[in-house]
């Protein structure tokens, strides 16, 4: 506070109760545009197509699809986050959008994908870029998706996972949202439900 407003006087720029009464809702001014997603029933065809391509970008895209992870989480993945014995990828809080550690159980074919990757001495990143010591570029996953003949977005693949999980599995909405590393529930629920339901999420 810089002394421009007396102590205890409500902030006139506060949205709720002030600006919300005078201005339209943000969503009406700038409607939310969803990322284009691959229909989940076409995902096997996409994975088969990717299997005919080579390159670190392709492997990174396959990994993103199989883990439902965000692009930045995949590009920044480090080998010290991967536990092969436990079949687990643990993304530290500082790399997560919600600033909370996220654990991802890894299926057998994901482990096989990782073990087949090219590695570079002195480079900590799982998906190495063209420059020594660097991670894969920001555009590499999108380029791999384009080469596979798709016009959707990489982020939209998370929606593909959500659609598949809601329509084709018995997982609860809570389990699905946790798999996507989304914040679930109100403040009270978040205070009391601190687990990540890893056993259930890994059951697939």
Active site residues: 70, 97, 155, 158, 182, 192
- With vertex at residue 92, the alpha carbon angle to CA 169 and CA 55, rounded to the nearest 5 degrees, is 70
Quick one: tokens of 78? 């480090």
Contacts of 164 (CB under 8 A, 6+ apart): 40, 43
Tell me which residue has tokens 């996507």.
180
The Cα 150–Cα 46 span in angstroms is 8
User: In whole angstroms, what is the distance from residue 184 CA to residue 177 CA?
Assistant: 7
27 CB neighbour count, 10 Å cutoff = 8
Q: How far is the C-alpha of 124 from the C-alpha of 76, rounded, in Å? A: 9
Helices (H) and strands (E) in the chain, counts: 11, 3
Nearest to 156 by CA among 42, 68, 27: 68
Task: In whole angstroms, give the CA distance from residue 85 to residue 79.
Answer: 13
| Contacts for 109 with CB less than 8 Å, ≥ 6 apart | 66
């Amino acid at each position: 506070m810089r002394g421009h407003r007396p102590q205890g006087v409500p902030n006139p720029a506060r949205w709720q109760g002030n600006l919300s009464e005078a201005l339209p809702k943000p969503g009406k001014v700038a409607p939310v545009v969803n990322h284009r997603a691959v229909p989940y029933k076409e995902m096997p065809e996409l994975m088969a197509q990717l299997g005919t391509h080579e390159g670190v970008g392709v492997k990174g895209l396959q990994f993103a699809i199989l883990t439902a992870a965000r692009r930045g989480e995949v590009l920044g993945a480090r080998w010290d986050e991967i536990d092969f014995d436990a079949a687990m990828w643990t993304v530290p809080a500082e790399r997560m959008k919600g600033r909370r550690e996220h654990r991802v159980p890894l299926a057998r074919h994901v482990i096989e994908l990782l073990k087949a990757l090219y590695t570079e001495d002195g480079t900590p990143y799982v998906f190495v870029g063209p420059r020594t010591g660097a991670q894969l570029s920001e555009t590499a996953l999108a380029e791999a998706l384009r080469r596979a003949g798709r016009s959707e977005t990489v982020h939209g693949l998370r929606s593909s996972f959500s659609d598949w999980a809601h329509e084709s599995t018995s997982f609860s909405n809570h389990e699905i949202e946790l798999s996507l590393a989304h914040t679930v529930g109100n403040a009270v629920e978040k205070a009391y439900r601190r687990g990540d339901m890893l056993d259930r999420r890994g059951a697939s």
